[in-house]
Amino acid sequence: MSPRSKEQFEELREEKKALIMDVALHHFANLGYRATTINHLAKHAGISKGLMYNYFSSKEDLLSAIIDRSVSELYSYFDLNRDGYLSEDEFEYFIRRMARLLNEKQNFWRLFFQVLMQNEVRIQFLNTFLGTETLLRPTQNYKEGSFISNIMKMITEYFVRKKETRGSDYDPYLELNMFILTLKGFALTYIYVDEDVDEYFSKTVDYIVETFK
């Protein structure tokens, strides 16, 4: 049997990392982040504790990787051409793709939100690149060039531009806050719906697009 190439080795490594993260998400959600040990995760991932540290330096590092993977998947559909300008078409595409992703991976996002509801995880989440409460402060100063600064810059500019056609009474920051709160409510509602989504799922997505586009 010929030795594995560098590409094959990296592919296997990424597959193992993904397996560890999936196992960790499940156990963080069901046992609690604090109660779940590296030993426990290694056992259920089918590897030794020592090998675990070849993939993640700590439990905190593992949690950060889960957060990064989960949120980055959503925001990979944001500003598709990466030109730093969020068009109306890109805004609509992001909302519709996000809704489809939440629906297609309902069980995954259910577990993810269960983990985020744990206080110690929530604190760590808010200290990473995308904290939910941070999104509700669009005028806050962020580290220049960071992921969250770029996202908030684009989405804030999107709503500010609407002032040109909405008039002086239009408050872009109020509408931005309402948009974020609406998305949160939509996501939390539909990932906990046990039966197949009905026609109101599509109608709700249409309504969000029509309201904020």
**CATH 3.90.245.10, domain 1-56, yes or no:** no
Q: How far apart, in Å, are the Cα atoms of 3 and each of 8, 9, 45? A: 10, 10, 25
Separation of alpha carbons 66 and 69, rounded Å: 5
| pLDDT confidence bin for 125, thresholds 50/70/90 | confident
Contact 75, 82 (CB under 8 A): no
- What global pTM score does this model have? 0.76
Task: Give the residue-averaged pLDDT of 2-20.
Answer: 83
Sign (positive or negative) of CA dihedral 147, 150, 154, 155? positive
Per residue in 27-76, pLDDT (tens digit) is 999 999 999 999 999 999 999 989 999 999 999 999 988 888 887 788 78
- What residue ranges in the chain does DSSP mark as E strands? none
Separation of alpha carbons 112 and 70, rounded Å: 8
What pLDDT, on a 0 to 100 scale, did the predictor assign at position 123? 78
Radius of gyration of the chain from Cα atoms? 20
What pLDDT, on a 0 to 100 scale, did the predictor assign at position 53? 92
